[in-house]
Structure 1
């Protein structure tokens, strides 16, 4: 083929026929004269159609698009995300591994382990384990383990504390995780390991509680709930000089080991569906109507205001009557729990005379009362409606009745003398936590020091944080003698024991309009002559007819203490 034909073929290939405009006859016609010159097996001599301009355009466009995409992707990988991919590549080569710190061990006051760490052969961190003892769950709390994603990478590289000591003292218990770097080759083989940051284990904590005593208190509360149809209960005991809590328990409770492991779905569901809320620490977070355990503080208010001689006797015939504020032709009756006869202040505390406290609280039959404003003042002076400051989360403030409280919470917000009467016996407007009741009765035992409770042994800052209730020593003596008389002759006679001298005050708080259910309280201290410890037990919502309640629990606990922990009661 001549050079002239070659050039035409090239032009036709790239530009089609329109560029040339000419067609040689020998490009079209194949005859006998030229056909033998072509190799038909190689498609020679075959008429070819030139590439159109449209086809050429799309071919070029496709190549350009591919080029742009490739260039853009290359820019993204190399420029925009280059650092990130470089780091990822580095991580693939250098693996960073968290070395989990061990949490601090929690001990009771006698050195017994309440929470510790067990070896975990299948994981990267130790297993948190709790003593298999009833009654400590609310105090200790539990933890949730570090969590991995599907790729095995920890998105949560610490223990998550839930309640109790575990949460409140998290900063001390947790420690600091360490970091290890492992270098691998392209096949994943370890080339070297280097400890970048060593872990720092958490600090151990020694609590002030006696685990055995706490377990016994819990078991007595639990059995009384089951046998006497209460729904729940709580108990606390405290050193009246240091504020150290010797025992604190709440029923019902959960199992810290079950919650930490998270494997027993049925048990966890049972906890969550329990209407009596086993996750509520009633000792610090439960708010209850206190009833007659408020009477000593009303008595102190009357002494401070000098409205009555403590030796003056007031007659209780079983009730008092006043005109009905809505219908003066009718009488409103306020009942005593029995006819208590003539009682002075000490005996009124001992037998828990409602009529006596109606009289000094709201005034009656010529006896002036301190009134609601002073009831508010003096009960707040003993720490009610305030946080105690105990080193646990979840504490509640409770409530003290007042004119403003009623105005804010009731459509008919006018305060009446009947409200004052009911407040004088702890039946109206009060909401009290067991730890508040314990703190208040402790101040009676120690002569006016309102301590900040602590669950840590040897916490020397507590005395600095105590408050002092300024009141004549004689007033404190009157209250103490009244509480001792309650044990020897009055409503707390169930706590009379030759071996242990106890001073106490009981309370039976009526619930609801029908008053068929009650909260059963007992508070006090021991030994009476040289007090060391104060206590409070609450039994929540049991039948009014019950003769067995909080006082019975403390009686059984004292008997156990005398046999197994005599140092506490002597």
Structure 2
């Protein structure tokens, strides 16, 4: 073959090959694979994206955009104000403007609690009168407090006891707010008062601080000299319920509780004499014979006995023994008084007389049957006179005491009530417990002829632009008792006779005529510890004030008790505050 033909043939073949399909460009599909499964990826090098996948992908992107938009809107719109406040607070500091706490005054205008500037602080210190006996009446406060960064986490005073607690909202006022603008470095740029402080209101108390201190001192001295662990006393206006003195011994130091060291506070809390207890309203004591005037009143109202009918006291009363057939249970009088009427029984404090009018006397053994009040009516009349109830005094922590009855005995001792339980309750023993304030209040009803006053400490509220003789006067409150007024006169006469020739002769003093009832309550099973009581009122002819004093847990062989506290107080009052004895 010629060379040019060979060349032409070669070139022509080359040209034709360039137009043919390259093997690398071949795509495998069902046309060249007869067994190809069109529903699988086998045999494929590429596959187009399905429409559903594209739709899901686009949906995902749209969802992300929508969620982002919602979040952005929430940050910018819904919470924009909140973030703005945060930013503003980084620039503006709010500082409290402390309100002045209201001051306290006694009935004569003597300052009892006030405020003085406190070095290095934006609030004032609370200062209390140093006269003795005021702690439980006034109470104490805790102060505003800051954290380690100097920010206040507690912006107000808090009353923690006494009047400070009971009238905390009235005394506290309302703090104001000072806005301080700062720069990026924390420097102060300007200040602005956002709101003004409203000072608290001032209070006038019914207390006479002079008598309060005199009563406290006499209770303290007797407790130390004789061995009583504590004591309490109340002197009250029988018509208004104004409390002239309310004393609890021992008392506490308000300064220790407000800002004392931990050691000082621990020492106070560990004191076995419990100085934090307000014994006048929270201390409950076995009353002993001071309940006898109230029992006499109930018996007269129920017409169980006339004032002049006499009962024989041979020194004891005997009834059939509840367990031993043929044996007797004997209940003692403190001495044989002979035949005594109601007035005489009150004067000499005859137990037998009050056993019989309280529990009655079953027939037999030479006894003539007598119907007594029974525990149900005893409890009912004691409730009527305010026992086992709160008096309503404007202080926190008041206890109600106990008048024992069958339900109480079943709960405490899981035993049935017996006649002997009624006898013991009739002379203020067994489970009977009262507070000194309850006793003074009930005696007030006897003294005024049947009105039970609501005791009160605060009598007037006034602001800084008023005087302590103006402001809001709080009206007294009282309850009328459904007992014949003639019966009160009999009981008053019996209590006066007790001072003239009975158990309260120590109060037969020239400075004022007193009517009184003493009581000695045995404490515990061995009966070597006693509470010593005296209750009553003065002046006798025109009563103005009732009183109740208890000396707590003294030796039973001691002959000097609560009566001598009152005597010393009255003799002091005759010189220092004679206006109360007229």
Q: How does 1:13-162 map to 2 (within 5 A)?
A: 86-162=84-160
Where in structure 2 are there 5+ consecutive unaligned residues?
A: 1-67, 362-366, 461-471
Aligned-partner Cα distance in 1 for 2:527–2:346:
23
The corresponding residue for 1:363 is 360
The corresponding residue for 1:452 is 454
How far 1:371 moved relative to its partner?
1.1
Aligned-partner Cα distance in 1 for 2:482–2:330:
36
1:344 aligns with 2:346: no
1:558 aligns with 2:552: no
The corresponding residue for 2:444 is 442
Aligned-partner Cα distance in 1 for 2:261–2:509:
45
1:331 aligns with 2:328: yes
Q: How does 1:208-247 map to 2 (within 5 A)?
A: 208-247=206-245
Aligned-partner Cα distance in 1 for 2:83–2:144:
27
Aligned-partner Cα distance in 2 for 1:342–1:95:
84
How far 1:115 moved relative to its partner?
0.7
How far 1:400 moved relative to its partner?
1.3
Q: How does 1:288-299 map to 2 (within 5 A)?
A: 288-299=285-296
Aligned-partner Cα distance in 1 for 2:86–2:130:
46
Aligned-partner Cα distance in 2 for 1:555–1:531:
17
How far 1:329 moved relative to its partner?
2.7
The corresponding residue for 1:475 is 487
- Does structure 1 conserve the Cα–Cα contact (< 8 Å) formed by 2:310 and 2:340? yes
- Does structure 2 conserve the Cα–Cα contact (< 8 Å) formed by 1:452 and 1:462? no
Alignment CA distance shift 1:254-1:516 (3 Å): same
How far 1:425 moved relative to its partner?
0.4
- Give the TM-score, by structure 1 length: 0.84
1:378 aligns with 2:390: no
1:315 aligns with 2:318: no
Aligned-partner Cα distance in 1 for 2:377–2:93:
69
1:255 aligns with 2:253: yes
Aligned-partner Cα distance in 1 for 2:288–2:75:
77
- Does structure 1 conserve the Cα–Cα contact (< 8 Å) formed by 2:518 and 2:533? yes
1:181 aligns with 2:217: no
For residues 393-442 of structure 1, give each alpha carbon's deviation from its aligned partner in whole angstroms, at most 9, with x where no partner exists: 10111111222222222211x11110111011010231101111111000
How far 1:277 moved relative to its partner?
1.3
Alignment CA distance shift 1:362-1:460 (3 Å): farther
Aligned-partner Cα distance in 2 for 1:305–1:187:
85
Alignment match of 2:276 (pick from 258, 276, 279)? 279
Aligned-partner Cα distance in 1 for 2:181–2:483:
73
- Does structure 2 conserve the Cα–Cα contact (< 8 Å) formed by 1:363 and 1:370? yes
For residues 361-405 of structure 1, give each alpha carbon's deviation from its aligned partner in whole angstroms, at most 9, with x where no partner exists: 112332321111111111111111111100001011111122222
Higher mean alpha-carbon deviation, 199-208 vs 321-330, is at 321-330
The corresponding residue for 1:396 is 399
How far 1:82 moved relative to its partner?
7.1
Aligned-partner Cα distance in 2 for 1:404–1:331:
26
Three-state SS of the structure 2 residue aligned to 1:285 is coil
Alignment match of 2:417 (pick from 415, 418, 422)? 415
Three-state SS of the structure 2 residue aligned to 1:401 is coil
Aligned-partner Cα distance in 1 for 2:226–2:329:
33
Aligned-partner Cα distance in 2 for 1:473–1:95:
68
Alignment CA distance shift 1:271-1:156 (3 Å): same
- Does structure 1 conserve the Cα–Cα contact (< 8 Å) formed by 2:459 and 2:475? no
1:521 aligns with 2:533: yes
Where in structure 1 are there 5+ consecutive unaligned residues?
A: 1-70
- Does structure 2 conserve the Cα–Cα contact (< 8 Å) formed by 1:453 and 1:462? no
Three-state SS of the structure 2 residue aligned to 1:428 is coil
1:406 aligns with 2:406: no
How many residue pairs are counted as aligned between the two chains? 495
How far 1:462 moved relative to its partner?
4.9
Aligned-partner Cα distance in 2 for 1:269–1:312:
59
For residues 258-285 of structure 1, give each alpha carbon's deviation from its aligned partner in whole angstroms, at most 9, with x where no partner exists: 221x233333222100122111111111
Higher mean alpha-carbon deviation, 321-330 vs 109-118, is at 321-330
- Does structure 1 conserve the Cα–Cα contact (< 8 Å) formed by 2:511 and 2:570? no
How far 1:86 moved relative to its partner?
4.4
The corresponding residue for 1:171 is 169
Aligned-partner Cα distance in 2 for 1:486–1:457:
34
Aligned-partner Cα distance in 2 for 1:95–1:305:
72
Alignment CA distance shift 1:462-1:514 (3 Å): farther
- Give the TM-score, by structure 2 length: 0.82
Three-state SS of the structure 1 residue aligned to 2:458 is coil
Aligned-partner Cα distance in 2 for 1:175–1:374:
48
How far 1:548 moved relative to its partner?
1.0
The corresponding residue for 1:34 is none
Three-state SS of the structure 2 residue aligned to 1:450 is strand
